[in-house]
Structure formats: structure tokens, C-alpha cells
Amino acid sequence: MGSLLSFNCRRAFLALVFISLISVAAHAQDIYTRFELGGQFSTIQQAPPGGGSKSYPGFGGRFDWNLNRRLAIESQIDFFPENAAPQLYRQGGQSLQAVFGIRAKVVQTRRFAVFGLVRPGLLHFSDVLYFNGDPTTLYGSKAVNYFVLNLGGGFEYYMTHRWVLRADIEGNPYRVPNATIPRGPGSAGGTAQGRIGDTTRLSFGVAYRPGGWIENEPEHAVSGRWEVGPVFSTMIITREGATEGTRTDPGFGGYASYKLYRVFYLDGDLLYYPRSTNSSGPHDGGEILQGLFGVKGGIRRNHFGFFGKVRPGFNSYSKALAGVTVTPNSLTYSYERATSFVIDLGGIIEFYPAERSTLRLEVGDTHVFFGTRNVNDNGTSVPVPGGDLRHTIQFAFGYGWRF
């Protein structure tokens, strides 16, 4: 339920951003300061024992280095002092998050702005449970740091030229790596499979813009209705097979984009991930063919573009478990292709080094929805539910041509 609420919050925010993009940003601010300092009250959503979700309050600060009136390099640190209940290889205790990335304003007037955020970083928990190999206690607790990808956006309201009110919401997928279970008396050891966790973040704050004012260079649109090119991708994913767990898979393919109307573009990727698996589950195994086809919305100005994306599609797995046959002398597995629905949410950043060329960075949280599949168990069809929504952290780097 927590993952579904998180997904719905981000989907609602993206819809709000796209509606805002339709408006014309008349009388925009044409001056900016080089730096911006802010403080904020924040919340982070975690899953307490027993299910559901709970938001923990915190506070922090941020620093922005403005490259121009729209684009900034932004860092933010938040501390959440309440002790959450420890969970095995997942979360627990106090938490601290530090992120560093890009903030881009897609709409800006004299009084308000709508912006997007792409900020990788670290998520720290002070007391996470782990297997310690001691048969008397079984568990210990330790501090851990996880890679996190902070994706979202928000609104700014300019009370004066110097003072800014800000509110933002982000999805927060983070990578829990596979862990080694130590051998001990009564324990054979082994591996605890990792996962891609997710939290939802909210922040409300105020910022001050010190220093002298800088006049923004004149803005002009970037030409080109079509854009195509090759893509190299990496996908941080938790595979379903019994011996797989969380890993990073490389892939390659191509992308295409077509301008529909003003700030809206049809956009899609077709990607192939050739690394196979050593074991398979009923929904997942082997190589992955991924297709994503949807909409991106944002701006292209001068030498850069920044977009939010909502792209439904599919993951097609080449070797999912289809059947198990047991005889007195053998154990045989059969496999088949399995295809699942996915939806890719995140951002796309483009740089334009020449008149007709594009350097493209895609960052996203791809939600994977496994349906119920039937497995043939010695002649009996057994339904296997898909389970909870799964998250996948994806990066893609491409070079394209516009025409």
C-alpha cells in the first residue's frame, strides 16, 4: 500500500506540472543571483513493522549554485531524528539524507516558478538489523548507507526579490545491496537478497538569495521536431531468481522523440539488456527487452533542455520459469518468455553542443508490475501472484540528431 500511495503522489505531481506547463510564462524574472541558501522542514515516508506507512519529520538545509535563471546545481541535507523500528537489511533508527544534482525551472514568472529535480545521493540509517551469525542473538544492528535517487519537483513563490517560499515532493528509490549471512553454529550462511526500496519525501522551506543580481542571457528556442539516436543504459534491478538479488545490468538500444505541441513530446526507448540470470522465477529470468513509450514535457532553451517523463511500456523476460517436473531420478525445469507492464517516471536532461546534435541523460524510477502467472507443477497448474510493485533505478546516456 505504501508503494502504491507513493506512486499515486508522484503521478499526481507530474500531472500538475504538465498542466502548469501549458500556461505561458509571461513577464518572467530575467535576473538572478549566483547563490541561494535555504532551510526546510521535511518528512520521509517509511514502512513500520506490520505494514502500512508512516511519515517521519525532519529538518535540513540546501545550497543552490545558479548557472542561469532556470538551471541550478543543488545540494540538500536533511536529518530525521525520530528512531524508526529497525528492519532486516532495510531501514531503522535515525536517518539522514544528502543529495546533489540539478534543479531546473520549467515555468517562471515574476511571482512563482515550477521546477523539476534530479538529485542522486546517499540515504543513511543508524540502526538496521542484520544476521550476525550468533545463534543466541541471531541479529545485530548497524549503521548503513544506501545509494538513493531523489526525483520530483515543486513550486517556488517569490515574496520579494530576495526571499522565496518553496514546497516540493519527490520519489526516493534506494538500493539495498545483497548481503552475506555469516556462517555460525547452526547456520549454514548464505546470501540475503537485496531490494530497491522506496520512500516519498516532502519539504517546505524558505530561501534567501544573497549577492548581486545577474542579468540572464536572452533565451531562444531549440530547433528540431524529430530527434533520434543510440542509447547506453544501466539498470539497478532486483531479479526474481533465487540466487540473483539486486544487481546492475548494462544495456543498449535507441530512442526517438517527436514534438507534439509547444512543451509536449512523444518519447520512447527500446532497450536490450543481454546479461542473463543463473536462476529464474515465474515472472522474471534471462535477458530483458524493454520498451518505453509515452510523453515528456518541459523546455528547450539555448544550450539545454529539461523534461519530466511518464512512459508506460513493458519488460519482456526471455527465460521465466514455466514448469517443474519431478521424477524419482530427475528434476526438470521448463522456461518461457514472460512480459510485464512497467511505467517509467523521472527526468530527461539534454545538452545541445551543436545546432543539430543532442547529448541526452535519462534518469528514472521504472515501476514493474508482475501479474499472476501459472506454473506447471508436475502436471498441476499452480497460480503464482506477482506480489508487490517493484522499483528499478535506471540511467541512460545517448547521443541524438535533431531534424
CATH of the domain at 319: 2.40.160.20
Q: What's the whole-number mean pLDDT along residues 366-383?
A: 95
Tell me what the mean pLDDT of segment 278-300 comes to: 96
- Grid cell 514472460 is found at 338
- 44 and 163 co-located in one domain: yes
Domain match, 199 and 259 both:
no
SS3 268: strand
| pLDDT confidence of residue 349 | 96
Tell me: do 215 and 225 sit in the same domain. Answer: no
Paired strand residues for 285: none
Q: What is the DSSP string of 199-255?
A: -EEEEEEEEE--S-EEEPPPP-BPP-SEEEEEEEEEEEEEE-STTTEEEEEEEEEEE
Mean pLDDT of all residues in 6-34: 55
> Tell me, what amino acid is at 343?
I
Residue 24 has pLDDT above 90, yes or no: no
Tell me: pLDDT of 311 over 70: yes
**Choice among 30-34, 91-95, 116-120 with the minimum mean pLDDT:** 30-34
Nearest 5°: the CA angle 303, 232, 283 is 130
- Quick one: cell of 98? 544528502
Q: Which long-range contacts (CB under 8 A, 24 or more apart) does 333-338 make?
A: 333/280, 334/376, 335/280, 335/285, 335/286, 338/282, 338/283, 338/284, 338/285, 338/373
Cα–Cα distance for residue pair 84/95, rounded to 1 Å = 9
Nine-digit cell string for 358: 543532442
With bands split at pLDDT 50, 70 and 90, how would you rate the model's confidence at 280? very high
| Domain end position, chosen among 219, 234, 266 | 219
Nearest to 77 by CA among 118, 145, 123, 146: 123
Number of structural domains (the chain) is 2
Q: Please report, as a single letter, which amino acid is at residue 102.
A: I
Q: Give the strand pairing for 373-377 and 264-273.
A: unpaired
Q: What is the pLDDT of residues 187-243, one digit of tens each?
A: 667 888 899 999 999 999 999 999 999 998 888 888 889 999 999 999 999 999 888
Based on the fold, state whether residues 8 and 153 are members of the same structural domain: yes
Residues 259 and 178 in one domain: no
**Which of 202, 219, 236 is where one domain is finished?**
219
Ranking 14-23, 30-39, 144-153, 342-351 by mean pLDDT, the lowest is: 14-23
Higher pLDDT, 399 or 21: 399
Q: Are residues 205 and 265 in the same domain?
A: no
Residue 107: pLDDT band (50, 70, 90) is confident
pLDDT exceeds cutoff 80 at 185: no
Q: Are residues 270 and 393 in the same domain?
A: yes
Residues shown for the chain: 403
In the chain, pLDDT over 90 holds for what percent of residues?
74
pLDDT at 16 over 70: no
Residue 150 neighbours by CB distance under 10 Å: 24
Is this structure's pTM higher than 0.75?
yes
- 4 pLDDT higher than 70: no
Give per-residue pLDDT as tens, 151-183: 999 999 999 999 999 999 999 999 999 998 887
Q: Give the pLDDT mean for 351-358.
A: 93
Domain membership of residue 145 as a residue range: 1-219
Name the band, by pLDDT with cuts 50, 70 and 90, for residue 28.
low
Q: Phi first, then psi: what are they for 34, rounded to 5°?
A: -70, -35
Residues 13, 43 within the same domain:
yes
Q: What pairs with residue 333 in β-bridges?
A: 324
Q: Are 115 and 189 within one domain?
A: yes
| Same domain (yes/no): 297, 312 | yes
**End-to-end Cα separation, the chain, in angstroms:** 44
Same domain, 246 and 326: yes
Mean model confidence pLDDT for the chain? 90
| 207 and 317 together in one domain | no
Burial class (CB in 10 A: 0-12, 13-18, 19+), 363: buried
In the structure grid, which three cell numbers stand for residue 165, read together?
517560499
Final residue of a structural domain among 201, 219, 237: 219
Q: In 78-205, where does DSSP find H-type helix?
A: none
Contact 248, 260 (CB under 8 A): no
